[in-house]
Chains A and B, each alone.
Chain A
């Protein structure tokens, strides 16, 4: 199971910070990547980025300058930081498990983050 947590409201120009807590499996697994995907209201899905236990990361080129995804193995969770947010970053943010070849089989329920003053 994956569960997102974090503020539902972020002010423009500030940093969005979310955490995904993983239960029932270890984020230290060599077989999995851990991903963040978002969906603006009424729109489609966008891959933000993903991280592997080895430290390998992938970031969407359109977001790369603003995104950091990291692992906290002691708490079996991983995090997303997105800086300098604007209204365009308002979306439901999902965390998910990538079991290889960019296939995501387990997803969190999603959390709505609104960028507004």
Chain B
């Protein structure tokens, strides 16, 4: 089974910053690489599928890239509503999560 390793586990950033979160899969796979955003007390929200395809309604400051086993979520011009925990997922495996906190 695939295992996903996400880094960092947490980061502090300011409004307007550019943030990058990385995710590494234990093996290359044809499954979609997805990113989710989760705010406290709520269900995860699907942001990006197939490495780089934004879901409808997701702001363009979110972007995804990568190939093979290495993937990246980038948030440019960080907004107050972006402070949350982000998870990558491929096949039935999730990364450990990255908590984006206010500096």
Contact = CB atoms under 8 A, between A and B. Distances in A.
B43 A46 contact: no
Interface string A20-59: 0000000000000000000000001111000000000010
Interface of A is mostly: loop
Interface of B: 1, 31-32, 34, 36, 42-46, 49-50, 55, 87, 89-97
B61 to A, nearest CB: 21
Contact of A107 (B44, B87, B90): B44
Interface of B is mostly: loop
B92 A44 contact: no
Contacts, number: 48
A10 B87 CA distance: 29
Nearest to B56: A105
Contact of A61 (B1, B49, B91): B1
B93 A47 contact: yes
Given A45-B87, A107-B43, A108-B43, A101 B92 contact: no
